[in-house]
Amino acid sequence: MKTLKISLFIGLIVGFMASISIIGCQKNLQAAKQPASSLEMEKEAIRKVIDQETTSYYKQDFDAWQSTYVNEPYFRYHGYWEGFPEKVVYYNGFDSLRQIKKKQFDENRTVWQQSRIERRNENFRIYGEVAWYTFEEITYDTTTNQLLGTCMGARLMEKHNGAWKIAYLGFHFLPIKEDALPLTTGKK
């Protein structure tokens, strides 16, 4: 059953990413090649939105967190984490996610509030008003430097009124090995 759930989740992600690639290729044909400095500015703007989303999530600042998303019915959220009772979660439409997170923040139930994030192995594909951003995200406890989790993340971003917003949030947390030891330094 667990393998079936994981296979279903991976199938959803692969299908979604394939459709994004097709859309991106079509947009790429229409868009002029961006200068390197402009591309770097767009990457930095996307990173800032993702950082704001993460920071406001852990601080449980609902308004700041919500402002990083496309607040539309076509928004999608798909994730896998061993810590979820159902393992795989998904929300179709931002309203369904908004209701759950508002309650979670109000009840102070956000896990890993005292954590820090490192992102690496970034991959950006930017096509005008749409961007695809994938990365590896490592989460550590800020007090002990213990590894809390490693996640493969994917974001589909859209520009709304000149600002990047999250239209799709996907993640897959890898199982933590029992013998994982706390880090002795904060950065590698």
Residue 180 lies in a domain: no
**pTM of this prediction?**
0.76
The pLDDT value recorded for residue 60 is 92
185 assigned to some structural domain: no
Split into its structural domains, the chain has a count of: 1
Q: Give the model's pLDDT for residue 70.
A: 98
Q: What is the domain range of residue 149?
A: 2-173
Calpha distance 164→70 (Å, rounded): 9
183 assigned to some structural domain: no
- On whether residue 47 sits in a domain, the answer given is yes
Q: Is residue 75 part of a domain?
A: yes
Q: What is the pLDDT of residue 170?
A: 97
- In single-letter form, the type of residue at position 145 comes to N
Residues 6+ apart with CB under 8 A from 184: 145
CA distances 61 to 65, 78, 95, 108, 145, Å, are 6, 22, 17, 11, 24
* 179 is a domain residue: no
Domain holding 37: CATH number? 3.10.450.50
DSSP secondary structure string, 99-163? HHHHHHHHTT--TTTTEEEEEEEEEEEEETTEEEEEEEEEEEETTT--EEEEEEEEEEEEEETTE
In tens digits, the chain (188 residues) has pLDDT values of: 555 455 444 454 545 454 444 445 444 444 446 678 899 999 999 999 999 999 999 999 999 999 999 999 999 999 998 888 888 999 999 999 999 999 999 999 888 888 999 999 999 999 999 999 999 999 999 999 999 999 999 999 999 999 999 999 999 999 887 655 444 444 44
Is 78 strand, coil or helix?
strand
**pLDDT score recorded for residue 165:** 98
SS3 of residue 36 by DSSP: helix
